[in-house]
Chain A
Amino acid sequence: AQSVTQLGSHVSVSEGALVLLRCNYSSSVPPYLFWYVQYPNQGLQLLLKYTTGATLVKGINGFEAEFKKSETSFHLTKPSAHMSDAAEYFCAVSPMDSSYKLIFGSGTRLLVRP
């Protein structure tokens, strides 16, 4: 069965520092990959997605992610953290055998220190 692993339930960075949130998936066939952000008491908002083609994907709010097939990874980065980036981030995959489902990681809470 497909699974998604997000390393680190909490990540803390200083404002202006690099943000790196890790995501690894298990699949013999590259699935579609997504990053979502969840602000308190809100639903999930799509940050970016990888389907096919270019492996470096740019999303909203200055975030980007790189699909690395050899490492089965899809890490999320942002060069300079803002206070407004503090939220919960979820990596998700859409498996090839049940295409409409999303399999989510357990999430990483990003804390931004002033």
Chain B
Amino acid sequence: GAGVSQSPSNKVTEKGKDVELRCDPISGHTALYWYRQRLGQGLEFLIYFQGNSAPDKSGLPSDRFSAERTGESVSTLTIQRTQQEDSAVYLCASTPRGGFGQPQHFGDGTRLSIL
């Protein structure tokens, strides 16, 4: 597709359940980012993938959060044993390559609601 695609667009689940969020970056983009956006707040960096390098997981808030990326394509963000504080919009972005100062292309996000 032309842009970053995220699915599902909305997810409602019960506390304690696991959820999996998907991101398809722009074709050819080697760098991929996940962010969390809580209501009324800016974006918090979660994780960064660049090619075959080890991902930067420094932003993951707890060990309930994990992410994977297959090569330079799809990425999934998994949240285990969800808590109400996990409710947020999860945004994915990509850039043609890693490195300094590149504008990031964002998907429309997945709105996650934990009941």
Chain A residues within 8 Å of B, Cβ to Cβ? 4, 9, 32, 34, 36, 41-46, 49, 51, 90, 92, 94, 96, 98-107
Question: Do the beta carbons of A107 and B104 come within 8 Å of each other?
Answer: no
Partner of A49, one of B50, B95, B101, B106: B101
B-side contacts of A102, CB under 8 Å: 33, 43, 45, 104
In the complex, A105→B43 CA distance in Å? 8
B-side contacts of A43, CB under 8 Å: 4, 91, 93, 106-109
Bitwise, B90-115 to A at CB < 8 A (1) or not (0) is: 01010100111111111111010000
When A9-B40, A90-B43, A106-B42 are in contact, do A99 and B106 touch as well, CB less than 8 Å? no
Partner of A34, one of B31, B95, B103: B103
Question: Do the beta carbons of A107 and B48 come within 8 Å of each other?
Answer: no
B-side interface size class: 20 to 34
Question: Do the beta carbons of B101 and A51 come within 8 Å of each other?
Answer: yes
Closest CB-CB distance, A26 to chain B, in whole Å? 15
**Interface residue B41 (Cβ < 8 Å from any Cβ of A):** yes
A-side contacts of B41, CB under 8 Å: 106-107
Question: Do the beta carbons of B108 and A100 come within 8 Å of each other?
Answer: no
B residues 1-21 near A (Cβ < 8 Å) are 4
Question: Do the beta carbons of B42 and A107 come within 8 Å of each other?
Answer: yes
A-side contacts of B33, CB under 8 Å: 100, 102
Chain B minimum-CB-distance residue to A49: B103
B-side contacts of A92, CB under 8 Å: 43
In the complex, A45→B109 CA distance in Å? 12
Closest CB-CB distance, B64 to chain A, in whole Å? 22
